[in-house]
Amino acid sequence: MPDALLPQGFEALEEFAERWTLATEAERFRARLEASLEEIRRFYDASLPHMDRALTHLAGRPPDGGDERSRRLLYLAMAFMDVSRVVEVWQQVDVRTDCLTPDRFHCSTTPDGI
């Protein structure tokens, strides 16, 4: 599959790759806020059966996922984890966005890059 965005074996998740392979927490937070509960639930339900295999695929790879397709799989898995509380706990797109807006997210690292 030459146009695949994700590694081989994850074809069932390709339809979600463009929408949910987001590198930063702020991007994932914004995507979660902009998505409907139905869209989030569809992504969650489709991804859940593949998460163990995705984490196995990513185990032992560099922290950024390594190759581009694996990196996208890493971002997709992170988005899945971000939306999981929407489906499993809140049953709504988000809570308290009045005081925690996406523009408040900023990436910071320690001096050693962690």
Q: Domain range for residue 46?
A: 11-92
The mean pLDDT value of the chain amounts to 85
Helix or strand run (H / E) with residue 80: helix 68-85
Q: Is the pLDDT of residue 37 over 70?
A: yes
Q: Is residue 31 part of a domain?
A: yes
pLDDT of amino acid 25? 87
Q: Is residue 5 part of a domain?
A: no
Q: Is residue 22 part of a domain?
A: yes
How far, CA to CA in Å, does 55 sit from each of 66, 85, 95, 100? 13, 18, 28, 29
pLDDT per position as a tens digit, 61-107: 988 888 999 999 999 999 999 999 889 887 777 665 555 555 555 55
Q: What is the pTM of this model?
A: 0.79
pLDDT of amino acid 83? 93
Q: Is residue 110 part of a domain?
A: no
pLDDT of amino acid 35? 93
Q: Is residue 113 part of a domain?
A: no
* Domains held by the chain: number: 1
